[in-house]
Amino acid sequence: MRGGAFLAGLHFLIYVADQKWNLVVVALEIVKRFYLTIGFVALLSLAALAITSTNGWQRRLKRKVGTRQQVIFDHAEGTAGKGRTKGDAPEIDGTVHVTSHRPLRIGEIATVKIDRADAYDLHGTVVGF
């Protein structure tokens, strides 16, 4: 999917360059010509699919491995808990599975070193409160 979005974006950039980077002219042409409107809508759809693809999501998660993230805990049982990082929505985005040396509390925020990532979630260890 990413390749198709890249080629469509490249085609669009060539068109914009051909119009001497005049975005007003480009916008007016897109509105005026039906086939350009369809092509532009297709480009936006491909871009959305490329951004939200599972492979892309997994790559973004793997980039967090080795980093320290602020995590708020939604569930806590003793020294294990599940939470989310800043910008993650509960029950929509993946979770961060955390272990700690001391008991965790729901609503608590801790600094977590991310040790690994699986398909949808991160796994880490608390390094500070």
pTM above 0.85, yes or no: no
- Of the chain, the percentage scoring pLDDT greater than 70 comes to 97
Could you tell me the domains of the chain?
A: 2-52 (no CATH), 64-128 (2.40.50.140)
Average pLDDT for 43-64: 79
pLDDT in the model for residue 71: 95
**CA 7, 12, 14, 17 torsion: positive or negative?**
negative
Task: Dig out the tokens for 48 from the structure.
Answer: 């959305």
pLDDT in the model for residue 1: 47
pLDDT in the model for residue 27: 92
pLDDT in the model for residue 124: 96
Residues paired with 85 in a beta bridge: 71
pLDDT in the model for residue 2: 58
Calculate the alpha carbon distances from 87 to 39, 72, 117, 125 in Å.
Answer: 32, 11, 17, 20
Average pLDDT for 25-31: 91
**CA-wise closest residue to 65 among 85, 91, 87:** 85
pLDDT in the model for residue 18: 92
pLDDT at 5 over 80: no
Residues 81, 45: Cα–Cα separation, whole Å: 37
pLDDT in the model for residue 34: 92
pLDDT interval class at 6 (50, 70, 90):
confident
Q: For residue 50, which phi and psi values (nearest 5 degrees)?
A: -65, -40
